[in-house]
Amino acid sequence: MRRWQVDGELTAAQIAEIVAVLRSGGVVLMPTDTIYGLHARADDANAVERLAAIKGRDETKPFIVIAASAEQLESFGATIPPILREIWPAPLTAILRRGSSPVGARVPDLPWLRSILSESGPLFSTSANRSGENPISAPAELAESLRKLLDGIVDAGKRDGKASTIVDFTGPEPKIVREGDRMFTQKLRKRLRKSL
């Protein structure tokens, strides 16, 4: 298993190594702008199957997809409301239309992670814990039973552990499903109201 230490930014060489692991079907622990998550290529069925098995999750329950940009999510088949192009990147998970089934999507507010995503393509992301357990905010908290199943760990220190705000954009008006950071959610409410 590979391990990369991040102190601020990743180097181009580190990004290339992480992308190579993901492209080969690997599952990698990486921080987002909220908490640590397990990640695998969204367009690689075998990698997604591994991700579900590691998570101990029913495969019918969808994962969130993270992407480098709204444009990359559009290429993935998601319908992007114009307001999201102004808000992202941010700790906001948007429930979007994608064909016949909705998808939860984010553009994380971490430049080096978006650099990885621009080269790897969209990744499925899920909190780094077994289903039903608490998410982790640092690699040291990762259960050993999960650690040995991974192909790589990106260690960027402790995250703040605040969950993202979730907004459902599939209805006639955007609806806040879960509040994350309070200040961010308050500003978001105002922007969403102005956009209507």
Question: Structure tokens of 144?
Answer: 């050993």
Q: For residue 20, what is the domain's CATH number?
A: 3.90.870.10
Unique residue bearing structure tokens 């703040």: 160
Domain assignment of residue 132, given as a range: 2-195
* Structural domain total, the chain: 1
Answer yes or no: is pLDDT of 59 > 70.
no
pLDDT for 6 equals 87
- pLDDT above 80: residue 60: no
Residue 94's CB is within 10 A of a number of other CB atoms, namely 29
CA distance 53 to 149: 10
pTM of the predicted model as reported, rounded to 2 decimal places: 0.93
What's the token pair of residue 4?
């990369």
Tens digits of residue pLDDT in 124-152: 999 888 777 888 889 999 989 899 999 99
Percent share of the chain, pLDDT over 70: 97
pLDDT tens digit sequence for 79-123: 999 999 999 999 999 999 999 889 999 999 999 999 999 999 999
